[in-house]
Amino acid sequence: MRTVQVFEAKARFSALLAEVEAGGEVAITRHGKVVARIVPQPPMTAADVFAPLWPEPGEIDMVAPPDSPPEPVAAP
């Protein structure tokens, strides 16, 4: 995890976001103490998105189907 001071984070915010998008984590410090962390957003599943729509949390039974093998493509 990379550590940067607040003033550097302000000056290089776009670069820090690019680093986080690539999977990195950044700790922001003030006076030597970590005050915030920037971490990548974990991927969401369809069940996560639609969970608020079900009255009972246990009712969601969505399971991703297995991947199918690729189909051959005819040459033009």
Residue 28, in any domain of the structure: yes
Residue 33, in any domain of the structure: yes
Task: Identify which has the larger pLDDT, 44 or 25.
Answer: 25
Model pLDDT for residues 4-24, shown as the tens digit of each residue: 999 999 999 999 999 999 999
Residue 68, in any domain of the structure: no
Query: What is the CATH classification number for the domain harbouring 32?
Result: 3.40.1620.10
Residue 27, in any domain of the structure: yes
* Domain span including residue 12: 1-40
Query: In this structure, are residues 22 and 45 in contact, taking their beta carbons and an 8 Å threshold?
Result: no
* Banded model confidence at residue 2, pLDDT cuts 50, 70, 90: very high
Report the candidate in 40, 43, 44 with the shortest Cα–Cα distance to residue 52. 44
Model pLDDT for residues 39-72, shown as the tens digit of each residue: 999 888 887 887 787 777 666 666 778 888 888 8
Residue 63, in any domain of the structure: no
Residue 4, in any domain of the structure: yes
Give rounded-to-5 percent helix, strand, coil for the chain. 35, 20, 45
How many structural domains does the chain have?
Answer: 1
Phi, psi dihedrals of residue 55, rounded to the nearest 5°: -70, -35
